[in-house]
Amino acid sequence: MKYILWVNVIILCMLMGCSQPEKQRLITVEVYFNGSPLNCNSVIDNKWQLSQLYLYLSNIAMLNEQQLWQPISLTETPTQHQNVALLGINCADEANATWQLALSGDLEGKQLEATVGVPFDLNHQNPMTQQSPLNVPNMFWVWQTGHKFMRFEMQSNTESWLFHLGSTGCSSASALRSPKQACVHPNRVSISLGTIKQGVVQLDIAPWFSDIVFSEQSNCKSARDNIACQLIFANIARNTPSS
């Protein structure tokens, strides 16, 4: 009787196309600043402490054994959707920090690259109807400009500092309308996530803010006429991978 039951199960699987569970590889992203881990206890320039840091990552690629960059898919999770992942922490709610990428497939590469940004076709949709993590309110400007691709904020005893990366120069009928064409300044940034060691990659963001004097006067929300933004974008361009 058991034999007949197992035969029926096997036949049913063959007919219905039963498949093996999706393979995945978990990678933890550790963010550093000038070689030291960046967390809610870090002190930068003897006065600044992190308040929140979030990044949307997309277009993730891995350097395979043939030394070719292979596009990587992401597993669907609460923090990953349509190959876009949200990583980060709000120091007011440290328990909900997320720094792990769930890569789909049997992957053996040692190097990772990614884009800090949300693809255009997803960037300007209604966040009220999008799935997580593209529905996070504090990572969205308006439909016209779309999501903040990166939100980096610090505080001292007397002032605050912030850098918000996102698309600018976006044309639509109003701020509450999505643009039909790409923004003049997409501001999607290619970055190297470095070498995978024991399931971990380390991203040092300090070079992006080289020569920036942190103060409320050097806040940047991706405005191209902002002097601090110009310096940050130049720093990022110098640290963009050549592949």
CB 214 within 8 Å of CB 45: yes
Residue 233 has pLDDT above 80, yes or no: yes
pLDDT value at position 6? 46
Over residues 32-44, the mean pLDDT reads 95
Q: What is the pLDDT of residue 242?
A: 60
pLDDT at res. 4? 46
Answer yes or no: is pLDDT of 2 > 80.
no
Query: Residue with structure tokens 């030291």?
Result: 36
- C-alpha 97: how far from its chain's center? 13
* C-alpha to C-alpha distance for 190 and 176, rounded to whole angstroms: 28
Task: Quote the pLDDT of residue 239.
Answer: 82
Region of 122 (left: φ > 0; alpha: ψ -120 to 50; beta: rest) is alpha
Q: Report which of 81, 79, 154, 147 is spatially closest to residue 117, judged by C-alpha positions.
A: 147
CB atoms < 10 A from the CB of 89, how many?
A: 21
C-beta of residue 192 within 8 angstroms of C-beta of residue 174? no
**First and final CA of the chain: distance in angstroms?**
60
pLDDT score recorded for residue 7: 44
**Closest C-alpha to 233, from 146, 149, 170:** 149
Cα distance between residue 108 and residue 87, in whole Å? 22
Mean pLDDT of the chain: 89
Triad 241, 120, 148: Cα angle to 5°: 75
Alpha-carbon distance values, 206 to 14, 189, 211 (Å)? 54, 15, 10
Determine the pLDDT at residue 15.
Answer: 47
State the CB neighbour count (10 A cutoff) for residue 63.
17
> 216: which DSSP letter?
G
What pTM does this model have?
Answer: 0.88
Asked if pLDDT for residue 48 goes beyond 90, the answer is: yes
**Res. 58 pLDDT band, cuts 50 70 90:** very high
pLDDT at 195 over 90: yes
- Range of weakest confidence among 7-11, 34-38, 94-98: 7-11
pLDDT in tens, 65-83: 888 899 999 999 999 999 9
Q: Could you report the per-residue pLDDT of 130-165, keeping only the tens digit for each?
A: 999 999 999 999 999 999 999 999 999 999 999 999
Rounded Cα distance between 210 and 236, Å, is: 10
Give the Cα separation of 29 and 101 in Å (integer): 7
CA distances from 107 to 104, 111, 167 (A): 8, 11, 32
Collapse the DSSP code of 192 into the 3-class scheme (helix H, G, I; strand E, B; otherwise coil) and give the result: strand
